[in-house]
Structure 1
């Protein structure tokens, strides 16, 4: 269930980061730990300015969704 939820949520990431987490020109997600990805999402969510695309995305996720997303993305190698 978490894997399916994470994969569905990750579809928002694929346009920039690529389907394998190695999108050119954007931060590489493949190889990052779930904890590191979750931490980065929380940092984006806490930003006051929502001019950043990542802050906009992160603000739309619940904590459970961010954890599921991070867990899924961490499986991408």
Structure 2
């Protein structure tokens, strides 16, 4: 982006007028500094989801995915890695994964809500988990 702006200013009247050139460079630097500031402030906040929001949204999830981690044919999502949960819910929402129930549920959530759910379920310590022998470990 900076290279494009540099070529633009080199061809414009700015190249012939030093004061305009300096103003244009200052604006470019100011814009870049503002973008860095936004990334520095917002980045950590967006890195993980809001656990309280995730807990609030989890009521429908725990109807099938038991908080105890007990496995009755439905995969446990308790204690899973956040990126794994985010990927699974996003793929259901975007109809990449094939499960009509999960597609319908995930369709209700935006990216922030998906991150919040992943943060909440990822933070729950696993309790004694009973699983059947055919458990593959994948979120289906």
TM-score, reference length from structure 2: 0.49
| Structure 1 residue runs of 4 or more that deviate by more than 2 Å after TM superposition | 19-23
Deviation at 1:18, TM superposition (A): 1.1
Taking the TM superposition and a 5 Å limit, the aligned residue runs for 1:1-77 are 2-47=50-95, 52-76=100-124, 77=126
Cα distance in structure 2, aligned partners of 1:21 and 1:10? 14
Q: CA deviation at 1:20?
A: 3.1
In 2, the alpha carbon distance for the partners of 1:23 and 1:51 equals 18
Deviations 1:21-69 (A, max 9, x none): 4442101112310110000001101117x97111001110010000000
Q: Which has the larger radius of gyration?
A: 2
Following TM superposition, by how much is the alpha carbon of 1:19 offset from its aligned partner in structure 2, in angstroms?
Answer: 2.5
Indicate the RMSD between aligned Cα atoms, in angstroms: 2.1
